[in-house]
Amino acid sequence: MLEKIKYEILRILSNSDLDLEAEHAENTLEWVLKINPRASLALQIAALGHDIERSRQDRYRSEDFADHSEYKRLHSEKGAEMLGELLREFKLEEDVIKEIQELVRLHEVGGSEVADVLRDADSISFFDNNLDFYIGYKGLEGAKKQVEYKFSRCSERAKDYIKNLDSYKRFLGKMLLN
């Protein structure tokens, strides 16, 4: 079941106008499993689908919002809605779907032990998988804002992982040279 759901989520994410969304989803799942090797099915599916909202042609864009937290809230809510609709097609149990949707709603902010794992894995994956792309997409200053946001929201456990990533070390070097 997980493999079929994974395939469909990755297929949908590959339609995003942002490069790396499918890779970010897989990388987030990898980090979830590094943080919690016994992660539930719900957490694993939430890791894969947490950014499914970005696959929409009319996706929310941070630059359209004066308030970054409002952008993140709407992104998370729409993603939870979209993922729920998809999972109902797979006849997943409704209580599991609701749990997944709650995790997606909370993936930017955490708020429970399980949601914190997803938030941390998402943050680590940004540094591990997306940072170099993001520098090219938003420039060094734009990337700096995102780095500050992602770093500030995650746990000490996640910060320890991030500090050891080559991409983070390269970013710090670029900032020092700038």
Domains of the chain as residue ranges with CATH: 2-177 (1.10.3210.10)
Residue 54: its pLDDT value, please?
Answer: 94
Amino acid at 123: S
Q: Cα dist. 133→21, 37, 43, 146 in Å?
A: 11, 28, 26, 12
Residue 63: its pLDDT value, please?
Answer: 86
How far apart are the C-alpha atoms of 24 and 134, rounded to whole Å? 12
Mean pLDDT by 10 residues, the chain (178 residues): 94 90 97 98 98 94 89 96 98 97 97 97 95 88 89 94 94 84
User: What residue ranges in 33-175 does DSSP mark as E strands?
Assistant: none
129: Cβ contacts below 8 Å, ≥ 6 apart: 20, 23, 24, 27
Give the burial class of 101: count Cβ atoms within 10 A of its Cβ; 0-12 exposed, 13-18 middle, 19 or more buried.
buried
Residue 117 in 3-state DSSP?
helix
Q: How far is Cα of residue 133 from the mean position of the Cα atoms in its chain? A: 15
Residue 137: its pLDDT value, please?
Answer: 85
Instruction: Extract the tokens encoding 102.
Output: 């709650």
Residue 134: its pLDDT value, please?
Answer: 87
